[in-house]
Amino acid sequence: RRVLFRSMAKIDVINQTGAVVDSIELNDAVFGIEPNQQAMYDVLVMALAGRRQGTSATKGRSEVSGGGRKPFRQKGTGRARQGTIRAAQHRGGGTVFGAVPRDYHYRVNKKVSRLAVKSALSEKVADAAFTVVDKFDLDAPKTKTFVGIMEAINAPKKTLFVVANGEDATNAALSVRNIPNTKMLTSTGINVFDLVHANKVVMTSAAVKEIEEALA
């Protein structure tokens, strides 16, 4: 069983070269709770449902081509009576109870959503898959440079980077776009889906403070 932080946990803050430059205390109410698996599951299912296109469609009997008249007379033919060749039993007829375009999106309770985010963050901290950096400072958008930063701070593939809303991380964000399975979000954009699917979460100090203010 994972050992969770029960008091204000102190974590090192590193720079882009991987050197420790400071330390920060993580709020136990956000980064040290017992992960609620049911809340995370409910929010993940909601996220996956919202990603469905919902564009599958079939044609009913009123939409397929074909005449509206009776194909043959009612009696005297020895065959079963038929009202239209557009009926489902005929070749080229309409589909009965077929798929129609729909929106699969729905929402869970706000408290459950907040609990799920805190649970996902706490799980990353407990699994030692959480790192705090002071800032991302690139002179220009350069993917090769950012890959070097990832190697220096020991960030594996499928890493989620989180920066504060007020930080100037445009060059870093543009550099991350070309790295497969790597994403950069702002503190207000974090979600359970990206947190759970990332092998590691790397946040700036400013982003940690913004998230604690929003969720604590």
pLDDT for residue 8: 61
Q: Which two tokens stand for residue 18?
A: 């991987």
pLDDT for residue 10: 87
Q: Between the CA of residue 85 and those of 7, 62, 79, 128, 181, what are the distances in Å?
A: 73, 11, 14, 66, 52
pLDDT for residue 4: 46
pLDDT for residue 67: 77
pLDDT for residue 71: 92
Per-residue pLDDT tens digits for 8-59:
678 999 999 999 999 999 999 999 999 999 999 999 999 999 999 999 999 9
Residues of the chain with pLDDT under 70: 1-8
